[in-house]
C-alpha cells in the first residue's frame, strides 16, 4: 500500500477490510465529483 497506515484513524486497520474502506471512499468521492460537475455543466448556457 502506498498510503501511511497512521495517517488517519479512518484508514487504520488491517487486511481486506481496510482495502474495502479505501475503495468505498474513492467511489463516494467520485460520485460527488460527478454530481458537482453535472450541476456545473447545467449552469453553462451552451449546454442547455
Decide: 6 and 13 in contact? Cβ < 8 Å: no
d(CA 25, CA 17): 13
What is the helix (H) or strand (E) element at residue 38, kind and residue range? helix 16-43
Q: What is the pTM of this model?
A: 0.47
d(CA 30, CA 41): 16
pLDDT per residue as tens digits for the range 1-48: 455 555 555 555 555 566 778 889 999 999 999 999 988 888 877 765
**Considering just the CA atoms, what is the radius of gyration of the chain in Å?**
16
Residue 41 has a pLDDT of 82
Q: Is 8 a member of any domain?
A: no
Q: Is 29 a member of any domain?
A: yes
Which residue segment(s) compose the domain that 35 sits in?
16-43
Q: Is 32 a member of any domain?
A: yes
Q: Map grid coordinates 479512518 to a residue.
A: 10
Residue 12 has a pLDDT of 53
Overall domain count for the chain:
1
Amino acid at each position: 500500500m502506498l498510503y501511511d497506515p497512521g495517517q488517519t484513524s479512518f484508514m487504520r486497520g488491517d487486511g481486506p477490510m481496510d482495502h474495502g474502506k479505501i475503495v468505498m471512499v474513492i467511489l463516494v468521492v467520485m460520485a460527488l465529483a460527478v454530481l458537482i460537475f453535472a450541476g456545473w455543466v447545467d449552469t453553462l448556457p451552451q449546454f442547455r
